[in-house]
Structure 1
Amino acid sequence: MRSAGAGVGAAAGLGLWGTWGGPAWLGEPRAVASLAPPDRVLEEVESPFNHIVVARNGDVVTMYFVVDGVYYIESRVDRSHPKSLDLDYTRTMMAGFLMQPRPTRLLMIGFGGGQISNYLFERVPGLEIDGVDIDPEVIRLARKYFDVPDDPRYRTHAADGRLFVEQAATEPGWDMILLDAFRGVFVPLHLKTREYYQTLLEHLSPQGVVVANLHNATPMYKHDRTTFADAFPQGYSFHTERGRQTIFVASADAERMSTYQMRANAELAQPAFDFDLRGLAARWYLGEDWDRGGAQVLHDDFTPEQLQQGIERHNESCRGEDCEYAYPTK
């Protein structure tokens, strides 16, 4: 799932705007689905932002973004049980309910096919959802193939994930903000800095939380975690079942939540879910799971004009020899 935007920094050869307080890497790589095209393509679109493929394999419908011939999973739903979360990391992102068991307003940055948003809209009574994606085609395909409902409580917005939040009212605030935003294979850096996290903090309700999908095996992880720790008073890590990703829950609450309270919140929220939240609570990683050595807080100093220029430049669809995507190497 994704909501795209500008890269942040002044890295040589990348043509970025603004200055960037940290290593000039592009972020974490998205999980690779396949090097070969899927068997049954339902629709293929070349938008100004993405090369999108929606395909079906038996009961499973998947939205892919294609970069340099590689198919990256953005959303997936199993039609044999469409009201369940099919991917491990999406289930683990429900860890936000262990800190905030009764949200009424939710913001999803990185809409994709709407899998997470659909699931929560169906299961959490009265929940209002704002789903944000930079690409109108992504939203259109989500409505066409992934059954995004047409409901006044479920709003979709074709917008950059940073500008949308900056332009939103701070009151009443969101109770939960989910970050699953990818620019092709990477999270755009302007959605990873302390300045952005401060903006999210200002738009949370008093008991609100931010839930972020992070790849813990990449060189960026220690910088991501250090930046979150600098921006938010409290943070909680939950590893996915396979351990490849960490779901990080950041809270503005000054007090550390106890294991007892987390388990109580799991019991309170459990009736809305079709998997064991108490088992998810048991995956709370109590220690630090990153190396602080050499880790930096990620900053940017964009003016509004520079941010808009960067969004226009770095949300262009990346194809063939013009692509500058690269995995971090150090």
Structure 2
Amino acid sequence: MAGKAVHPFRRRVRHSVDLLPEVEISESGNIRSLHLGSATIQSSMDIDDPADLVLTYTRAMMGFLLWQDDPRHIVQIGLGGGSFSRFIDEYLPDAISVAVEINPQVISVARAFFQLPEEGDFFEVIEADGADYIKMFRESTDIILVDGFDDQQIVQALTTEEFFEDCKRALTANGMLVTNWWSGDKRYHSFLERLLAAFEGRVIELPAATHGNMAVMAFKDTPNLTSWDKLAARADELEGRFGLEFGEFVRRLKEANLHSNNRLLI
């Protein structure tokens, strides 16, 4: 749900699993994109710079680095075209990253056309239901990235109270859940209420620059870094390391969340 485009070139990939959306690939210039049963772009890759986060919602989701810039273990629910996997491989090479994807065709297409990192000790793709898979963890993953859309909307199973409780249980003490939601979804506020309840109010919203996507971040425990001055200093440091617009992220956090003159209120 990161915008719509019709491209001059499109390759159709037939799926073999009932009820899962059809996977398509499009290309425009040096940008290759993945679609699930519609013209909506689910994931994009710059062929000349695969680690670059092309879509603004993927950049916003990496805003968690303001608080967790050296995670040891990351679970991605929803592989898509592998944007997070490539970024993590490039910029967080010491992190163990597991991508969980329910659609085997998405996995096949990502491996064949989207330059996924080599699978091994630090990166693995698992075909599974992410809502079930996360139940395996107990205080053992630092970051959970959830980007679960089908061909029509946010996947319902990734927005339930049970799922949020499972995610909270899976996280380490300073862990974070980061999920991509569509702010125009009529269910958005009910999703947010469930997440706030599960994480006892420790939730913030970071709007993406375009398309109405929202990176919603939930903290296992209250973060230490909430001062605007310290967040700005942190953003300046991280921009050089990761090449993302962290200063802009801080500005949007201030616009979108409860705050005082001095700090973000979490």
Distance change (3 Å), C-alpha of 1:270 and 1:102: farther
Of 40, 55, 59, 1:87 maps to 55
The CA distance in 2 between the partners of 1:287 and 1:274, in whole Å, is 23
Post-superposition offset of 1:140? 1.2
Post-superposition offset of 1:263? 3.4
Which AA in structure 2 matches 1:207? N
Over aligned residues, Cα RMSD in angstroms?
2.1
Map of 1:299 onto structure 2: none
Post-superposition offset of 1:279? 2.4
Of 76, 99, 102, 1:131 maps to 99
Are 1:159 and 2:159 counterparts? no
Map of 1:280 onto structure 2: 249
Are 1:203 and 2:173 counterparts? no
Kindly provide the CA deviation profile for residues 282-323 of structure 1, in whole angstroms up to 9, marking residues without a partner as x.
21146658xxxxxxxxxxxxxxxxxxxxxxxxxxxxxxxxxx
- Does the aligned pair in 1 maintain the 2:45–2:54 contact within 8 Å? yes
The CA distance in 2 between the partners of 1:254 and 1:39, in whole Å, is 48
Post-superposition offset of 1:89? 0.8
Are 1:254 and 2:254 counterparts? no
The CA distance in 2 between the partners of 1:244 and 1:86, in whole Å, is 16
Gaps of 5+ in 2: 259-266
SS in 2 for 1:33: coil
Are 1:78 and 2:54 counterparts? no
SS in 2 for 1:207: strand
- Does the aligned pair in 2 maintain the 1:111–1:139 contact within 8 Å? yes
Are 1:99 and 2:70 counterparts? no
Post-superposition offset of 1:128? 1.0
Distance change (3 Å), C-alpha of 1:269 and 1:255: closer
Of 21, 31, 54, 1:60 maps to 31
Kindly provide the CA deviation profile for residues 101-123 of structure 1, in whole angstroms up to 9, marking residues without a partner as x.
22121111111110122112111
- Does the aligned pair in 1 maintain the 2:146–2:180 contact within 8 Å? yes
- Does the aligned pair in 1 maintain the 2:204–2:257 contact within 8 Å? no
- Percent identical pairs in the alignment equals 23
Q: Which one has a larger percent helix, Structure 1 or Structure 2?
A: 2
The CA distance in 1 between the partners of 2:236 and 2:254, in whole Å, is 19
The structure whose RCO (Cα within 8 Å, separation 6+) is larger is: 1
Map of 1:51 onto structure 2: 22
Map of 2:262 onto structure 1: none
SS in 1 for 2:105: helix
The CA distance in 1 between the partners of 2:99 and 2:164, in whole Å, is 18
- Does the aligned pair in 2 maintain the 1:239–1:285 contact within 8 Å? no
The CA distance in 1 between the partners of 2:203 and 2:97, in whole Å, is 23
Post-superposition offset of 1:255? 5.5
Of 238, 257, 275, 2:206 maps to 238
Post-superposition offset of 1:217? 2.3
Map of 1:304 onto structure 2: none
The CA distance in 2 between the partners of 1:288 and 1:236, in whole Å, is 6
- Does the aligned pair in 2 maintain the 1:228–1:250 contact within 8 Å? yes
Gaps of 5+ in 1: 1-29, 290-330
Of 218, 221, 225, 2:188 maps to 221
- Does the aligned pair in 2 maintain the 1:229–1:235 contact within 8 Å? yes
Post-superposition offset of 1:272? 3.2
The CA distance in 2 between the partners of 1:256 and 1:223, in whole Å, is 28
The CA distance in 2 between the partners of 1:280 and 1:139, in whole Å, is 31
Map of 1:121 onto structure 2: 89
Map of 1:182 onto structure 2: 149
Distance change (3 Å), C-alpha of 1:169 and 1:123: same
Distance change (3 Å), C-alpha of 1:272 and 1:47: farther
Kindly provide the CA deviation profile for residues 196-232 of structure 1, in whole angstroms up to 9, marking residues without a partner as x.
1000000001110011112222321211111111111
Distance change (3 Å), C-alpha of 1:46 and 1:243: closer
- Does the aligned pair in 2 maintain the 1:102–1:269 contact within 8 Å? no
The CA distance in 2 between the partners of 1:209 and 1:112, in whole Å, is 21
Kindly provide the CA deviation profile for residues 48-81 of structure 1, in whole angstroms up to 9, marking residues without a partner as x.
1221111222211111111xxx322121112233
Map of 1:297 onto structure 2: none
Which AA in structure 2 matches 1:121? D
Which AA in structure 1 matches 2:97? I
Which AA in structure 2 matches 1:218? D
Distance change (3 Å), C-alpha of 1:123 and 1:31: closer
- Does the aligned pair in 2 maintain the 1:98–1:281 contact within 8 Å? no
